Chain A
């Protein structure tokens, strides 16, 4: 009968160490390790934020493939600028700011190219006054899951018609659940402006989603 000499022979030691790493290592420390060339540290950062960033950009742009590309670009920029990173604020604020800038830049590019999404095809010139294309189907649905899916799609479409300056704070607050303070730092504006924009964004959404409320 063979005797185990080290705990590594059990086979789960690396997983255990990885868990410990994930729990204890801060984002700052991981970025510091990335700066010294530690690829695993950067992979850990990516695994922590890839879903959040992809989801955030997707909510902003309403385009999944484009959101994945922009999320990758976000991480590429973080990796390239690792040497210049300053610890003055949280890493999440830093990476969300990059993602926001990329998403807004993409939205402006689309506006210049006059790319019109199917959902926004019938919207008016002023995004704030946009009307929802898909009127709700008032007939009773068989499945409550279908109802939820329909409602979520309607919300997503309604959000995508919001002006970008209202869209970003609304998503950060109501979808991602971030504090006003953090949103203000991500968007590089004052907290009062953030509150005002979120309030106006909700007002627009309330109008668009009247049938669902």
Chain B
């Protein structure tokens, strides 16, 4: 009971300002309770010491510095948008790059008529430079007969290596796919205008290709003619003939 009373009295003392007068009950209790009296003395002393800290003055140039700071803020306010603007510009640049990239990719994949396959071949293994792949017939006479694939080893050796390299760099290594284009009908009656029309019966001869293996050795590959036997099939008149009749 007494302890509770002491706590209440101390709490009341704690909440009072130093210059405030305590209630009669507190005064009576302090007269009787030595512990609370000592507490009150120490507490009052402590609060006097803390209160003696007083006010620290601001430096004399406080106003001047504050004014300069406000002026700086006001001057810099116009340029506060720069950090945001820089971020916005960076974002716009990245967005632009993505959009341009997306358009380019879309254009590349959405060109069925211009389906050109660009082959980047291994230039170390490719002899000389590659030209667009063309159908080569045995008796065909090319208007520009200098394909490196058909060049002999002696001719190849005569060419300086440096020129060969520059030629490799300058010529585009492109293989064109003509599968999507309509095949030209060769009847044999049209006059030869731009290039010589090949007769269909030339398939009796074998197809020969002379290659250079890169070490100066010429290799000749002979491909025999292939017959599909269509003429025989038509003669029999039986479309459902077994395969052995072909």
Q: Does B15 touch A at the CB level, under 8 Å?
A: yes
Partner of B73, one of A47, A76, A195, A213: A76
B41-81: contact bitstring with A at CB < 8 Å (1 yes, 0 no)? 01101110111111111110011011001100100000000
Partner of A54, one of B49, B58, B69: B58
Partner of B46, one of A75, A148, A177, A202: A202
B49 touching A195 by the CB < 8 A rule?
A: no
Whole-angstrom distance between the Cβ of A197 and the nearest chain B Cβ: 11
Q: Does A64 touch B at the CB level, under 8 Å?
A: yes
Partner of A58, one of B17, B45, B52, B56: B56
A-B contact count (CB 8 A): 85
Whole-angstrom distance between the Cβ of A40 and the nearest chain B Cβ: 12
Of the listed residues A46, A80, A174, A199, the one surrounded by the most CB atoms of chain B closer than 10 A to its CB is A174
B62 touching A68 by the CB < 8 A rule?
A: yes
Known: A54-B62, A180-B15, A206-B43. A72 touches B69 (CB 8 A): yes
Q: Which residue of A lies closest to B19 (CB)?
A: A177
Q: What's the Cα separation between A52 and B57 when bound, in Å?
A: 8
Q: What's the Cα separation between A79 and B15 when bound, in Å?
A: 35
Q: Which residues of B contact A (CB under 8 A)?
A: 11, 14-15, 17, 42-43, 45-47, 49-59, 62-63, 65-66, 69-70, 73
Q: What are 12 of the A-B contact pairs (CB < 8 Å)?
A: A47-B63, A51-B56, A59-B53, A75-B66, A76-B70, A156-B53, A175-B50, A177-B17, A195-B14, A202-B14, A202-B43, A202-B46
Known pairs A51-B57, A59-B53, A213-B42; list 17 more (Cβ under 8 Å).
A50-B58, A50-B62, A55-B54, A55-B57, A68-B59, A72-B66, A72-B69, A76-B69, A151-B49, A151-B52, A152-B53, A155-B53, A175-B54, A177-B51, A202-B43, A205-B50, A206-B42
Q: Which residues of A contact B (CB under 8 A)?
A: 43, 46-47, 50-52, 54-55, 58-59, 64, 67-68, 71-72, 75-76, 79-80, 148, 151-152, 155-156, 159, 170, 174-175, 177, 180, 195, 198-199, 202, 205-206, 209, 212-213
